[in-house]
């Protein structure tokens, strides 16, 4: 089921959130959540490289150590805290770590953005996000989506599933990153091309001293192959339906080409062009062959 909870943001707009989130939760985030100096927030639309960036950040802020808890316990999902996951909302107020980190799929206007915290937004080609989101929604026990790909595609393109329009989500975070030096905008595709370059960029952004050996270690532990074998980094804590392929499914660029019909691609292109007209975002995701 992908029926979202409709809430009104501080900007007066309607937002589509997971069904367990309420208007009161949004108000708590806006008014009571104490953002600490040096807090790190990883923001993404669903299935855009969240777990991957969590792994990079966890190793960077933890001296290269994985730690003894899985990634979503170490860097909890803000929305999930409101459903009692990962220690619940007490985690928002805890001050027991030298440097706190969270991950979120919230739109820019629903997350408290403080000048003394750091925000990393990971963007991914929305076509590949569509495919990954479809398999995620189908395989995850908590969602257990039973619709067809065509039905899912329509809901995703119209922005009626959880977290609404992928185009708006990406555009708002991108615009914010253009105006604030504490928001780093990176792409999944750049991480695929050179994880080392992006890891160094993130380390610099978080003001973490690093030498080549340290960065090499972080990169080696953050590859798809290494993470797939690591029970603290592979999403195995997420309950999947029987015979599901697991959380880290393929991790490739261009998988949309095996799923989109020509008609779907034309509709998608038209919607994306309209949403991002006049911005640099249209040039960001070339429809490259899978890598």
Give the span between the Cα atoms of 182 and 117, in whole angstroms. Answer: 7
CA 149 to chain centre: 22
In this predicted structure, the answer to whether residue 288 has a pLDDT above a threshold of 70 is no
- Give the pLDDT score at 132: 87
pLDDT band at 243 (very low <50, low <70, confident <90, very high): low
Flag whether pLDDT at 195 surpasses 80.
yes
Q: Three-state SS for 189?
A: helix
The pLDDT of residue 1 is above 80: no
How sure is the predictor about 224, in pLDDT bands with cuts at 50, 70 and 90?
A: confident
Q: pLDDT digits over 18-76, tens only?
A: 888 999 999 999 999 999 999 999 999 998 999 999 999 999 999 999 888 888 889 99
Q: Which own/partner contact pairs does 192-196 have at CB distance under 8 Å and 24+ positions apart?
A: 192/252, 192/253, 192/291, 193/291, 195/56, 195/219, 195/222, 195/223
Instruction: Give the pLDDT of residue 4.
Output: 84
Contact 11, 109 (CB under 8 A): yes
Sequence-ordered list of residues with C-beta below 8 angstroms from that of 259, at least 6 positions apart, any chain:
130, 131, 134, 149
Q: Domain for residue 35, yes or no? A: yes
For the chain, how many structural domains are there in total? 1
**Domain around 90:** 10-283
How far, in Å, CA of 125 to CA of 187, rounded? 8
pLDDT of 136 strictly over 70? yes
Q: Which has more confidence, 43 or 151? A: 43
Query: To which residue do tokens 């790909």 refer?
Result: 149
pTM of the model: 0.91
Token code pair at residue 138: 């189908």
Our answer to whether residue 105 is catalytic in this structure is yes
Res 286 pLDDT > 80: no
Average confidence (pLDDT) over 257-280: 94
What is the maximum span of the chain, computed from C-alpha positions, in angstroms?
A: 52
Whose tokens are 């026990």? That residue is 141
**Contact yes or no for 203/40 (Cβ under 8 A):** no
Q: Which of 67-81, 84-98, 241-255 has the lowest mean pLDDT?
A: 241-255
Instruction: For helices 50-61 and 212-221, give the axis angle rounded to 10 degrees.
Output: 140
Angle (nearest 5°) at CA 237 between 236 and 239: 90
3-class DSSP state for residue 93? Answer: helix
Residue 252 has pLDDT above 80, yes or no: no
**Does a structural domain hold residue 1?**
no
Does 242 have pLDDT greater than 60?
no
pLDDT of residue 254: 86
What is 195-214 written as a DSSP string? HHHHHHHHHHHTT----HHH
Catalytic entry in 103, 105, 169, 247 = 105
Domain of residue 55, CATH code: 3.40.50.300
Task: Give a yes or no: residue 290 inside a domain.
Answer: no
- 33-47 burial string, b = 16+ CB within 10 Å, else e? bebeeebbbbbbbbb
Is residue 28 one of the residues assigned to a domain? yes
Half-sphere exposure of 276 (CA within 13 A, CB side): 23
Give Cα separations from 248 to 55, 112, 135, 226 (angstroms).
13, 29, 11, 11
What confidence category does residue 2 fall into, taking pLDDT thresholds of 50, 70 and 90?
low
CA 8 to mean position of chain CA atoms: 21
């Amino acid at each position: 089921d992908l029926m979202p909870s409709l809430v009104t943001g501080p900007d007066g707009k309607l937002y589509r959130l997971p069904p367990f989130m309420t208007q009161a939760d949004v108000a708590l985030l806006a008014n009571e959540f104490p953002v600490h100096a040096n807090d790190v927030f990883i923001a993404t639309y669903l299935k855009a490289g969240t777990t991957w960036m969590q792994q990079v950040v966890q190793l960077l802020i933890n001296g290269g150590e994985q730690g003894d808890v899985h990634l979503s316990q170490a860097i909890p999902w803000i929305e999930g805290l409101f459903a009692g996951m990962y220690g619940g909302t007490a985690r928002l107020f805890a001050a027991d770590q030298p440097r706190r980190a969270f991950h979120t799929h919230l739109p820019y206007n629903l997350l408290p953005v403080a000048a003394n915290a750091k925000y990393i937004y990971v963007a991914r080609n929305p076509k590949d996000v569509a495919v990954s989101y479809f398999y995620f929604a189908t395989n995850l026990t908590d969602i257990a989506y039973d619709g067809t790909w065509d039905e899912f595609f329509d809901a995703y393109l119209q922005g009626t599933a959880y977290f609404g329009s992928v185009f708006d989500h990406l555009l708002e975070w991108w615009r914010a990153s253009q105006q604030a030096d504490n928001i780093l905008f990176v792409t999944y595709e750049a991480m695929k091309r050179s994880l080392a370059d992006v890891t160094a960029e993130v380390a610099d952004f978080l003001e973490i001293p690093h030498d080549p050996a340290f960065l090499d270690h972080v990169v080696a532990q953050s590859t798809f192959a290494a993470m797939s074998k690591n029970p603290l980094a592979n999403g195995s804590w997420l309950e999947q339906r029987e015979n599901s392929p697991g959380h880290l499914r393929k991790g490739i660029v261009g998988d949309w080409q095996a799923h989109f019909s020509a008609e779907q691609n034309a509709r998608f292109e038209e919607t994306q062009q309209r949403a991002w007209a006049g911005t640099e975002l249209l040039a960001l995701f070339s429809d490259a062959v899978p890598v």
